[in-house]
Structure 1
Amino acid sequence: MKVLKIIIQIALLYAFAWLGGQIQQWLHLAIPGSIIGLLLLFVLLLCRVVPVSWIEAGSTTILFYLPLFFVPATVGVINHLDLFAGKGLLLVAIVIASTIITIIAAGHASQWLAILTERRRGTNETIDRVEQMQAELEEESGIRMTSQIAQDERTMHNDKQQAASASSHTKDASQAKLYRKKGTQL
């Protein structure tokens, strides 16, 4: 089942390369059709028209065997050694220069991406900190409200006790008046 999935995904990748070739022939472009197909696939992946899961296993398999795809190119170079004869030092200089340029470009690109990611992460961390502070304030104000409610309840309880005490004093006083009128003592 997994092999069939890989075969279907490689066929889908090939379909994009074929479609790119057709677009190249139809529009008479100087760009190779495989590159046009690759760009088309890239755009569709960015727009999420084609999910990554549709090509993931197939592309991983192709990348695993990628070194084997360079064998024909190497054999082709060996067949045309006369083109490179006498230019060995120039080729070495070109290889060294292109390697240095690639390292510098890759270094700058990775630094730029790291800065961009850090800014994005910093923004997210700032938002997280603000949300955390809001939650702490809500919790703190909730505690304050709870303590305020408890204090209000104590005040109401004290008021009830005072009212009860006052009513009991009033009751005692009225009973005392009643007994005095009757001429009896408490």
Structure 2
Amino acid sequence: MKKAAAFLFQLAFLSALYYGSEFLVSWLHIPIPASVTGMVILLFLLSKGWVPVQMIQSGAAFLNKHLAFFFIPIAAGLITYGDLIQSDGAALMAVIAGSSVMGLLITSGLSSALAKRSREKA
């Protein structure tokens, strides 16, 4: 019973964080999705130690385990844009592929630079 209550609390905390970031984004008119803003806020809270990892660990693991389930509505929504995909699909795929490659290159470059800095400090 105690584990179930802790699990529900973790899900409620993560949900409150998301809805709080959704409110913040709409109130401040920030052009960043609320989910990304919420993750940045959660990263800040975790890095400062204000929220221990154990406080969200099982709830976050559950959500990650079932992540594919959350993409079903998005995929179903794409069906309504069949004409757009048919006419501009190649351009959309080029933008998606290009931005993915750019994100990978930036991430790998940043990771390499941080690893090098870490080795130099040690």
TM-score w.r.t. the length of structure 2 is 0.80
Look up the equivalent residue of 2:20 and give its one-letter code. Answer: L
Q: Which moved more, 1:41-50 or 1:18-27?
A: 18-27
Relative to structure 1, the CA distance from residue 81 to residue 57 in structure 2 (aligned partners, 3 Å threshold; closer, same or farther) is same
Give, in angstroms, the shift of residue 108 of structure 1. 0.7
Give, in angstroms, the shift of residue 116 of structure 1. 2.2
Q: Distance in 1 between matches of 2:41 and 2:97?
A: 33
Q: Which residue number in structure 2 is paired with residue 119 of structure 1?
A: 120
Q: Distance in 2 between matches of 1:116 and 1:62?
A: 33
TM-score w.r.t. the length of structure 1 is 0.56
Q: Give the unaligned 5+ runs of structure 2.
A: none
Q: Does 1:81 align with 2:88?
A: no
Does the 8 A contact of 1:9 with 1:57 survive in 2?
yes
Q: Give the unaligned 5+ runs of structure 1.
A: 123-186
CA root-mean-square deviation: 2.1
- The higher relative CO (CA closer than 8 Å, separation ≥ 6) is in 2
Give, in angstroms, the shift of residue 8 of structure 1. 1.3
Matched pairs, number: 121
Q: Which residue number in structure 1 is paired with residue 55 of structure 2?
A: 54
Q: Distance in 2 between matches of 1:74 and 1:100?
A: 22
Does the 8 A contact of 1:17 with 1:33 survive in 2?
yes
Give, in angstroms, the shift of residue 59 of structure 1. 0.8
CA deviations on 1:77-135 (whole Å, 9 max, x unpaired) are: 12211122222322332233223222212221221122122123x2xxxxxxxxxxxxx
Partner SS, residue 49 of structure 1? coil
The structure with the larger Rg is: 1
1:33-112 matches, within 5 Å, as 33-112=34-113
